[in-house]
Structure 1
Amino acid sequence: MAVETVTDVDDLTDEVRRLLAERGPRAGSVTVVAVDGPSGSGKTTLAGRLGDDLDALVLHVDDMHQGWTGVLETVHLARASLVSAWAAGEPASHPTWDWDEDVAGPSRAVPGADLVVLEGVGAFAIAGDAASARVWVEAPDDERHVRAVARDGEVFERHWDEWADQERRLWAVSPGRSDADVAVDTADGPAGSAADVGGQTGNAADGSVAPQPPPLWLVVLGVVAVSLSMRTLMTSLPPLLPRIREDLGLSSVWLGVLTTLPVLCMGLLAPASARLGLRLGVARCISLAMVAISVGNLARTFSHEVPALYVGTLCAGAGIALAGTLLPGMVKASFPPGRAGLATGLQMFAMMGGAAVAAAVSVPLARTLGDWDLALGFWGLVAVVGLVLWLPVDRAVHHGGDRDQHPPDSSHRLPWRSPTAWCVAGFLAVQSWQFYSSLAWLSPTYVGHGWEAQDAGLLLSVFTGAQFVSGLVGPAVTDRVGDWRVPLVAAAVFGLVGQTGVWAAPDAAPWVWAVLLGVAQGASFAIGLVLLVRYAVSPAAAARFTAMAFLVSYTVASMGPTTMGAVRDLSGDYSSIWLVLALLMLAQLGLALLLRPGRPPVR
């Protein structure tokens, strides 16, 4: 018998209601609607709509899958713990998977419900004859592929063929399309059709205009505007440190704390920022972050009062932590795979560009405005402009529904037991220690050698500008050579030469040393971010991996500027800072050699 195909969501809901009224519950007292179909076809969105229309509990088979190769095992386990339990009138549960340990996780209890929508690959097989209605969701292969990769990223791209093969083997021996009561094609179609389920825009089923995501140009503008303020808090400070020390009488240690606070926030607040994004929405949280960055920077206008200087820095640092954790996810969710790299490049360009400009103009700005505290507060106005340019993105996202909401993963545990995760976290910790220490003390080092503060600020801008170039080139080189240790080792050698130069011969070639330092730090950090994706087995694992790596690396690195300030105070000169950093670069080189492509993945 031919399967009926519908093209309107209202028609689908009416047909499902008819089937349920005709057949009644078939799993004890529980009525089950099974929604199945290949990955990327739009099952989750469609099931969500059915759940809302029918006032039903929605269960996702994706939460039950036993790893990347366990589709058939998932069907067996879920059928026993769900359907058999319902049929027997017993409490139901479903299996989970511990991606950290790559083993089966604890069973999760299922709330009691009279009507359940079970969706996901294998839903027909799990429900079996207990399904009162079967809905098959489909779309062309190329369109499904684009959707799935846009949703789950590079990790799913690597597993796409393997997963598709499991789908074919499952439906060869279990109920599939031919066993459906109704089919829904979510390919491009007329406005108001089921194509809207697959992510198209048009008229909603009730005749109203369906919410649309913000246009890409608006997101690009917002991302660039936000990114401009992600490093100005830190790079605007070092060229002014000599004047701040003179006016406030602060020691090198306390001056180092000013650079430490934002970095410490970026580490300690990373896990909390991710959870807040899940609760409030990514776009809304970025708006709140920009408010904090604006207020914190503006508070530094009153920095002749020492508490205002430190409280403002802490407030803005918290905002940077929140935005820095969530902005990459916003970029990934808003751009198709073919443009996500470009968007990330623009984000890095804006971040490094803002950092370089802030370092270069801090001293001239202080002279123009009349004092250094006004120069620090100026960057609050830049952040306000960024907030104004971001708010249309926030409004568009929230008007468009829950586009920026990411479902919580079944496991929230960070991969503390993964040797690979610790290697990457250790590498990023050493790299970040060197970066923030260099950021804090490069300008003061040359002021100590008799340079004018403005010239020392320009030197710092060269350091940050070189990072932008190497940060773009480094990942591209990684794609070409295959073994990312090659560019990582090269970057470490460049950094070692630059640090040795500042230590042993600071006036011989200061601009060359600054370029080498910037190239080393930019490439090392950018490739480190690539490794957070390459080593992770899934998007959820990548999120946990990133939270752990940032927590470790930024927390450790936050002590760098202050510790280096203490080294300077104890030794009496700045050269000792660069000797210590050169020794740390040797440690970074050793860690880079451990990061081979074949290391065990992070789960």
Structure 2
Amino acid sequence: MKPFPRALLLLGLILAAINLRPGITSLAPLIERIAEELALSRSLISLTTALPVLCMGLLAPFAPRLAMRLGLERTIALCLAVIAVALLLRAVGHASVILIGSAVLLGAAIAVAGPLLSGFIKRHFAGRMGSVVGWYSLSMAIGGAGGAVLTIPATQWLANDWTYGLAIWALPAVVGLLLWLFLPNRVEAESEEGGTGLPWRQPRAWLISAFFAIQAGLFYALATWAVARYNEAGLSLMHSNSLFSVSMLMGLPSSFLLPWLAQRFKNRYLLLVGCGLLSSISLAMITFQPTVLPELWAVTIGFGLGGSFALSLVLPLYEAGSPLAVSRWTAMMLCMGYSIACLTPVLTGLARDLAGNYQLPFMVLTGLAVLMTVLAWMMRRGPKSACS
């Protein structure tokens, strides 16, 4: 096969990654308004976040099988097409059925794309995985931050109609799709190591999956309810939105910097512990003293969770030797992780409805951050393959 320019391969990876989060994070700034206009309870409106995450978990194991049938690159292109369609549906989303249905489509596409993008990195960038994962996670952070920061201005620009503010995020998906249609496609032969299934019998796979589940659960709970928590504590809605935007933006430097540091100094597990501690302290302050230095804790929670996510993406790359095997490790991590993580936004909203305030559910989130730190410490005896 004729060599394809590495720069275009990296650009394709970046464009695909940018589209994995805006469909979810764009809902957070508008969630209270949508709930009021559609007369939905907080636990029901949280399904717009929970269902994509559930799909991302349940459908991730099918990603390697689709790649074997269609080819890795064409399958990712198909996922971008589905993301675009799901987001365009939100332009007519003045109904809970359309809003929740688009969330399911979105989650299905992200579920398949995630593991395959890890395999794509292993195939084309095996010699510099740390730096490329940095670009990958940075791009996801940009997409997530963009959804959080730009959705309100976009909504105001588009006749103050929240359906258009959500649907505009189909545009980057269409741009990404156009490039991926031109990338060379290759179908993997099923002769690689690791067999045909996921690594269910590998203890480290379970440990990595548990860590990923907690950090993802914390991210999606905050993406859904952080603005409401700040607002309940007495901060204005504009101030609350700005704090959420800051936390999303802080995922940008940590998403790029920490994978690079992990590769450079071979210390990814120590960095995971540091991110866990930072997240635990930040969540404790948001829980118990949300009006004390809120900008500081918005910065640190964004940096800690952004770094945890970026570093967790690196882990499967060093556990398997081939693109399809890496996809299987990643599929298990995403399957277990997102299947559990999808519960946190719903349970947080339900606990808020039952308790009458957000402090109790945020206390539980703080405890989960501490547990995440413990798991990172347990993983410090890494796999035999070292960072390269």
Q: TM-score, normalised by structure 2?
A: 0.91
Gaps of 5+ in 2: none
CA contact (8 A) 1:273 1:326 kept: yes
Any runs of at least 4 consecutive aligned residues in structure 1 with deviations exceeding 6 A, and if so which?
none
CA shift at 1:219, angstroms? 2.1
Q: Work out which of the residue numbers 346, 352, 376 in structure 1 matches 2:141.
A: 352
C-alpha spacing 1:478/1:335, structure 2 compared with 1 (3 Å):
closer
Code of the residue aligned with 2:309 in structure 1: it is F
Alignment of 1:346-385 (within 5 A): 346-369=135-158, 370-385=160-175
2:70 to 280, 296, 310: 280
Which residue number corresponds to residue 19 of structure 2?
229
- Please give the alpha-carbon distance, in whole angstroms, between the structure 2 residues aligned to 1:225 and 1:600: 33
Q: Is the 8 A contact 2:251 2:303 kept in 1?
A: yes
Deviation at 1:415, TM superposition (A): 2.5
Provide Cα deviations, 1:151-205, integer angstroms capped at 9, x if missing partner: xxxxxxxxxxxxxxxxxxxxxxxxxxxxxxxxxxxxxxxxxxxxxxxxxxxxxxx
The answer on 1:493 being equivalent to 2:265 is: no
Partners in 1 of 2:11 and 2:309 — Cα distance? Answer: 24
Q: Percent identity?
A: 35
Q: Aligned in 2, Cα 1:600/1:508: closer, same or farther, shift over 3 Å? A: same
The 1:539–1:276 alpha-carbon spacing in structure 2 relative to 1, beyond 3 Å, is: closer
Name the structure 1 match of 2:44.
Answer: 254
Unaligned runs of 5+ in 1: 1-210
Q: Matched residues in 1 for 2:338 and 2:277: separation?
A: 23
- Displacement of 1:538 in angstroms is 6.4
Indicate the residue corresponding to 1:343 in structure 2: 132
- 1:405 alignment partner in structure 2: 188
Deviates more, 1:232-241 or 1:571-580: 571-580
| Equivalent in the alignment of 2:123 | 333
Which structure has the larger Rg over C-alpha atoms?
1
- Aligned equivalent of 2:328, options 544, 550, 555: 544
In the alignment, which residue of structure 1 is the partner of 2:223? Answer: 439
CA offset at residue 231 of structure 1?
0.5
Report SS of the residue matched to 2:380: coil
**Alignment-derived partner of residue 21 in structure 1:** none
1:114-513 mapped onto 2 (5 Å cutoff): 211-335=1-125, 337-338=127-128, 340-369=129-158, 370-393=160-183, 397-398=184-185, 402=186, 405-409=188-192, 411-479=195-263, 482-513=266-297
Paired residues of 1:356 and 1:460 also in contact (CA < 8 A): no
Q: How many residues align?
A: 383
8 Å CA contact retained: 1:361, 1:457: no
Please identify which structure carries the higher helix content: 2
How far did 1:222 drift? 2.3
Partner AA of 2:2 in structure 1: Q
Q: CA deviation at 1:461?
A: 2.4
Aligned to 1:11: none
Query: Any idea what the Cα deviations from partners look like across 1:545-591, whole Å, max 9, x if unmatched?
Result: 22222211110011111111111111111222221111111211221
User: How many angstroms apart in 1 are the aligned matches of 2:176 and 2:365?
Assistant: 35
- Structure number with the bigger relative contact order (C-alpha 8 A, sep ≥ 6) is 2
User: Which of 354, 359, 363 is the aligned partner of 1:570?
Assistant: 354
For 2:239 and 2:181, the matched residues in 1 are separated by: 37
Is the alpha carbon distance of 1:576 and 1:470 closer, same or farther for their aligned partners in structure 2, counting shifts above 3 Å? same
Partner of 1:77: none
Q: Distance in 1 between matches of 2:139 and 2:264?
A: 25
Seen in structure 2, the aligned counterparts of structure 1 residues 364 and 540 have a Cα distance that, compared at 3 Å, is: closer
Residues 535 and 469 of structure 1, relative CA distance in 2, 3 Å threshold: same
Q: How does the TM-score come out when normalised to structure 1?
A: 0.60
Question: In 2 relative to 1, CA 367–451 (structure 1 residues): closer, same or farther, beyond 3 Å?
Answer: farther
Match of 1:134 in 2: none
The one-letter code sitting in structure 2 at the alignment partner of 1:262 is: P
Q: Which amino acid aligns with 1:428?
A: F
How far 1:253 sits from its partner (Å)? 0.8
CA distance in 2, matches of 1:269, 1:296: 16
SS of structure 2 residue aligned to 1:392 = coil
